[in-house]
A and B are shown apart, each in its own frame.
Chain A
Amino acid sequence: AQRVTQPEKLLSVFKGAPVELKCNYSYSGSPELFWYVQYSRQRLQLLLRHISRESIKGFTADLNKGETSFHLKKPFAQEEDSAMYYCALNQGAQKLVFGQGTRLTINP
C-alpha cells in the first residue's frame, strides 16, 4: 500500500539550531512528494514540492529514492517556523496521501 510515514509526532529544537523533519514513503512508481505546513490559526498551505527543487523560507527537501525518504531540513531554525508539518505523496488527480504530521516547536 502507498503510505507516508512521519516518525516524529513532536519535535522541539532551539532557535538557531538545525532542523530535520523526517518523511519516509512507500510507492511503487516515481513519487511526487510535497511538504505542507499549517501555522497557528492559518490554513494548510504548500511549503515546497520536490519537482520544483526550490527553497522556501530556508527549507529544502531532497528526494532519496534509495532510502525512500523526503526529509525536510533547515540549517538555522527561527521561532516563526513553529507549526504543524505534513509530508504528502501524490497518487494522481490531486489525491494526496498525507503523513500524520510533525508538530515543530522552536524554543527561544
Chain B
Amino acid sequence: KAGVTQTPRYLIKTRGQQVTLSCSPISGHRSVSWYQQTPGQGLQFLFEYFSETQRNKGNFPGRFSGRQFSNSRSEMNVSTLELGDSALYLCASSTGQMNEKLFFGSGTQLSVL
C-alpha cells in the first residue's frame, strides 16, 4: 500500500506570509500527527488528529494550526511566518491505537526568507 504522502516537498516563503502543508496518510489510518525537525531543536511534536479531532498538542504558538478531513487527510497551517519557522515538517500516520508504530512521510522542507 502507498506510504504517507506529503506535499509539497519544498517551499520558500518570506516573513509574514502564511503556508499550508498537506499530508495524506496510509489508507485505513485515522491518526495523523505533525512534527517539526530543526538542527537545533531536533524533532518536536506539533499536534495530532484522530477522526477529525485534535487529540494532543505540543508547545507551539497559535500561529501553528491544523485540521483533518473526513478522509483522514490533514493540513497544517502556519501564519505570519518567522525566520525561525524554517524547518523540515514531518507528518506521521498510524491506526491511532496506543503505542502503535508511526509511519512517517518524507517531509516538507520550509525555508522562510
CB 8 Å contact bits of A65-107 with B (1 = contact, 0 = none): 0000000000000000000001000111111111111000000
CB-based nearest B residue for A4:
B42
CB-based nearest A residue for B55:
A93
Residue contact A94 to B31, C-beta cutoff 8 Å: yes
Residue contact A46 to B48, C-beta cutoff 8 Å: no
Residue contact A51 to B43, C-beta cutoff 8 Å: no
User: Residue B66 at the A interface, CB < 8 A?
Assistant: no
Chain A stretch 25-71: residues in CB contact (< 8 A) with chain B: 32, 34, 43-46, 49, 51
Partner of A100, one of B42, B50, B56, B98: B42
CB-based nearest A residue for B47:
A95
Partner of A95, one of B3, B4, B45, B106: B45
Residue contact B45 to A97, C-beta cutoff 8 Å: yes
Instruction: Flag the segment in B10-18, B67-75, B78-86, B88-96 that touches A.
Output: B88-96
Residue contact B99 to A32, C-beta cutoff 8 Å: yes
A46 to B101, CA, bound (A): 6
Residue contact A95 to B99, C-beta cutoff 8 Å: no
Residue contact A96 to B99, C-beta cutoff 8 Å: no
A71 to B100, CA, bound (A): 20
User: Residue B58 at the A interface, CB < 8 A?
Assistant: yes
Interface-centre pick from B43, B56, B100, B106 (highest chain A CB count, 10 A):
B43
Measured CB to CB, the residues of A under 8 A from B are 32, 34, 43-46, 49, 51, 86, 90-101
Question: Can you name 18 A-B residue pairings with CB atoms under 8 Å?
Answer: A32-B99, A34-B101, A43-B3, A43-B105, A44-B90, A45-B104, A51-B99, A93-B50, A94-B31, A94-B33, A94-B48, A94-B55, A94-B56, A94-B96, A94-B100, A98-B43, A98-B44, A100-B42
Measured CB to CB, the residues of B under 8 A from A are 3-4, 31, 33, 35, 42-45, 48, 50, 55-56, 58, 90, 92, 94, 96, 98-106
